[in-house]
Amino acid sequence: MSKDNGARIAIITVAGISSRFNEGIDEERKILKAIYSDGDGGKTLLSHLVGQCGYADRIIIVGGYKFGDLKEYFGHTFPAPLREKTELVENEHYSDLASGYSLYLGLEAAFREKDIRDILFVEGDLDIDDGSFQSVVSSKKTVLTYTDEMIVASKSVVFYKDASDRFRYAFNSQHGLLTVSEPFSVILNSGQLWKFTDPGTLRKANAEFFSADKGGTNLSIIQKYLDAVPSSGVEIMKLSEWTNCNTREDYKKIRNRWEKAK
């Protein structure tokens, strides 16, 4: 446990079916994209993220699609010190419920810890540069991240500040046009990496999600949390290098960046 003020917990969600990543691939060759490498034993998205989360006292990985492959990969890949502080959680509803249920399960596992300092959450198909990741880890506040990529309605998650100076998220799960139906002072492209420093409020948000909106996305839990904490306690941070890995071509670009960063 970190010092005397509670455990630091990191949650990584990798439950999705990787449909775009496996598009046009024979069924027997389809793979969970978080554990994909290009055949030479190279680094995976998951191994990279787990390495970045090595600061945490507990790491929780929520899987679903090809969960057996995830368990096998985990057992063969990670050294004992990381395995000992990492928990794999299975989301059996990965195909019939949205991303919120994976975060819900991860948070429920986290809340078994009695004393929590902060909880970091990152989606498992992201590549983020080490410097930006460490800045989020080091912040004393709740952190929302953004990128400088162009906002494209069909794929972007955005957050903005409304007229009441509150942070709000918007996303079209049908990948169509995006609507923000109120005035805002700033709008940014979300980096899909968050840190929460008020575990009690997050626990309440998680419970409300399960009772009223368990078919929603992870943004539902995050929005409930943000509606309950003061905006003054929230920091927004830019991610310098950021790639959402949707295709195998995206993975190749990420691998090239890793090689250059060595």
pLDDT reading at 93 higher than 90: yes
Query: How many Å apart are CA 106 and CA 100, to the nearest integer?
Result: 10
List pLDDT tens digits, range 222-234. 999 999 999 999 9
The pLDDT tens digits for 205-252 are 999 999 999 999 999 999 999 999 999 999 999 999 999 999 999 999
pTM to 2 decimal places = 0.95
pLDDT band at 14 (very low <50, low <70, confident <90, very high): very high
The rounded mean pLDDT for the chain is: 94
Best CA proximity match to 44, nearest among 31, 55, 59, 56? 31
Crossing angle of the two packed helices 199-212 and 99-110, in degrees rounded to 10? 140
Which pairs count as long-range contacts for 244-249, CB under 8 Å and 24+ apart, including other chains?
Answer: 244/125, 244/126, 244/155, 244/192, 245/21, 245/33, 245/45, 245/125, 245/126, 245/127, 246/20, 246/21, 246/125, 247/20, 247/21, 247/23, 248/21, 248/36
Other CB atoms within 10 A of residue 183 CB: 9
The per-residue pLDDT for 40 is 61
Q: Does residue 1 surpass a pLDDT of 50?
A: no
Assign domain 7-261 to its CATH superfamily.
Answer: Spore Coat Polysaccharide Biosynthesis Protein SpsA; Chain A (3.90.550.10)
Q: What is the pLDDT of residue 38?
A: 84
pLDDT for the residue numbered 237: 98
Report the pLDDT value the prediction gives residue 213, as an integer from 0 to 100: 95
| % of the chain at pLDDT higher than 70 | 97
pLDDT score, position 233: 96
* Residue 147: half-sphere exposure toward Cβ, Cα within 13 Å: 20
Q: Is the confidence at residue 260, as pLDDT, over 70? A: yes
Neighbouring CB atoms inside 10 A of 233's CB total: 11
Give me the pLDDT at residue 261, please.
Answer: 85
pLDDT, tens digit (0-9, with 9 covering 90-100), for 82-91: 999 999 999 9
Higher-pLDDT residue of 168, 77: 168
Q: What per-residue confidence (pLDDT) applies to 55?
A: 97
Model confidence band, residue 262 (pLDDT cutoffs 50, 70, 90): confident
In the chain, domain spans: 7-261
How do residues 36-58 score in pLDDT, each as one tens digit? 998 666 799 999 999 999 999 99
Instruction: Answer whether residue 120 shows pLDDT above 90.
Output: yes
Instruction: Kindly tell me if the per-residue pLDDT of 19 is higher than 60.
Output: yes
Residue 4 is predicted with a pLDDT of 57
Q: What is the pLDDT of residue 188?
A: 98
